[in-house]
Amino acid sequence: MGSWIAAPVFERTRIAGRGVLMNHQPKMVQHTSLVVRSVYAERPMTNTTDGPLSGLRVIDCSGMISGGFATTQLADFGADVIMVEHPKHGDPIRAWPPFQDDVSLWWKSIGRNKRCVTLDLSSDRGAALLLELIEGADIFFENFRPGTLEGWGIGPKQLRSVNEELIVVRLSGYGQTGPRSEKPGFGTVAEGLSGWAHANGFPDREPLLPPISLADLSAAQFAIQAAMFAIFERDVTGSGVGQTIDVSLYEPLFRLFLGDVESYDRTGEIRERTGNQHPNTAPRNVYETADGYMTLSASSQRIFENVMDAIGRADLISDPRFETNEKRVDNATELDAVIEEWTRQRSTDEAITEMEAADAIVGPVYTMADIFEDEQYEARNDIVSVEDDDVGDVRTAGPVPKFSRTPGEVTHMGPRHGEHNEEVYLEELDLPPEEYDTLIEEGVI
């Protein structure tokens, strides 16, 4: 049995779709757990699941990759995400290849589990409708150039004037402050500015950009974690009010350089490109095999010794060049050559089998075709099938991470442009049909 302490216990309810802290007075609770009771009234949310974010409403005015992927993750785990697009032109990702029957599969992926409405935010009536949507929301995402929303009269101050609990997540190239803040920003520029491109690639080649939208996707993850921090502060710590979160594209990547900031400050050293080698541990690389490639990492002394045993070179364990990790890093090229001489004489499967028998840490280098056939991916439902009205039965990445009680789910792929207009405006905002028709005619929705 735990001791008893005074701690806040919150009962949160939804009134007309809006969150209200009903009680934030200290009560006696058992020290073994802090209980937060969340009670949400029923409301139409056709795309949500029983995931851990069930009952959370998100208004997404961001589009593209960073905001789009952040809200996809939230939607995968039960949040009701309403994505707002311009009436004439939707999210640019709708026009990104690959296509099936002129339908973007990129969009089908990043738009999944969301509801899509159209709205011209630059119009007075469009701005007013956004404020109506905001009344029932927990989180608002936007990625306009800094100052754009304020110019339309719907900046964070105006948004929270109708919903003081609202958490506003702002994504931009450089953040909302600083000398570059008003410039447009894309992930490619952020990958250069953050130091990432300089450190990536091989020492005898030019800086290398990633093959995926790394800056955008990293910013998305930081935006999600920040939004959850703010939810905790609002609902559990008990302030009961929202705040604004400022996420740039370059800073999340910059934050991932653990030790590099301190190293330059104290020693003046700059991380240089090392290819597939690691500056702090060896051996670690991609090694050629008789029929492809494999990966290997030996970041501890014991694993290094296991690798040497596997390739029949136990004599190298006491070799002065390799006897410590620091010396192995200094002589990584020579060590890699010894390992690759062994791997090239075996197929990938054979090399992995022999390495694993010696308790080495290795793996294959997969293509997407390999992933579709892999039993590990299959066992964890990492690829799931979803029926879609546009492209038929399509396989997509399953939600991750895995939850024991409230797992994520993919209920539908990316909707059509404005597919949920009637559901949101007529049924949830209760607009009169004649006003709805007028707004369509005027190009507001």
pLDDT, tens digit, for every residue of 147-165? 999 999 999 999 999 999 9
Residue 402 CB: number of other CB atoms within 10 A? 11
Which residues neighbour 280 within 8 Å (Cβ) at sequence distance 6 or greater? 329
The per-residue pLDDT for 124 is 97
Distance in angstroms (rounded) separating the CA atoms of residues 437 and 445 = 9
Residue 102 has pLDDT above 60, yes or no: yes
Print burial letters for 27-50: b (CB count within 10 Å at least 16), e (below 16): eebeeeeeeeeeeeeeeebebbbe
> What pLDDT, on the 0 to 100 scale, is given for residue 357?
97
- The residue type of 363 is G
pLDDT at 63: 87
The whole-number pLDDT of residue 120 equals: 98
Tokens linked to 229: 């921090």
Residues tagged active-site: 216
pLDDT, tens only, 331-373: 999 999 999 999 999 999 999 999 999 999 999 999 999 999 9
Q: Residue holding tokens 């039960």?
A: 78
Q: Which of 336, 241, 270, 243 is nearest to 298 (CA)?
A: 336
| Whether pLDDT at 122 is above 50 | yes
The predicted model gives 4-22 an average pLDDT of 38
Q: Rounded to an integer, what distance in angstroms lies between the CA atom of residue 424 and that of residue 427?
A: 6
> Residue 83: pLDDT above 80?
yes
Which has more confidence, 20 or 334? 334
Mean pLDDT throughout 388-400?
97
Overall average pLDDT of the 165-183 stretch? 97
Dig out the tokens for 48 from the structure.
Answer: 């949500």
What is the structure's pLDDT at 279? 92
Q: What angle do CA 101, 93, 158 make, to 5 degrees?
A: 140
CB 83 within 8 A of CB 111: yes
Strands of 37-138, DSSP E: 37-38, 57-61, 80-85, 99-100, 103-104, 115-118
Q: Which two tokens stand for residue 167?
A: 């958490």
Q: pLDDT (tens digit, 9 = 90+) per residue, 280-331?
A: 999 999 999 999 999 999 989 999 999 999 999 999 999 999 999 999 999 9
Classify 368 as helix, strand or coil. helix
With bands split at pLDDT 50, 70 and 90, how would you rate the model's confidence at 43? very low
Tell me what the mean pLDDT of segment 72-80 comes to: 98
Task: Please tell me the distance from the alpha carbon of residue 151 to that of residue 267, in angstroms, as a whole number.
Answer: 46
d(CA 64, CA 86): 13
The model's pLDDT over 211-248, given as tens digits with 9 standing for 90+, comes to 999 999 999 999 999 999 999 999 999 999 999 999 99
Contact 28, 34 (CB under 8 A): no
Tokens for 175? 């953040």
Answer with the residue of higher pLDDT: 248 or 4.
248
pLDDT of amino acid 49:
67
Over 70: is that where the pLDDT of 140 sits? Answer: yes
Query: How high does pLDDT run on average in the chain?
Result: 90
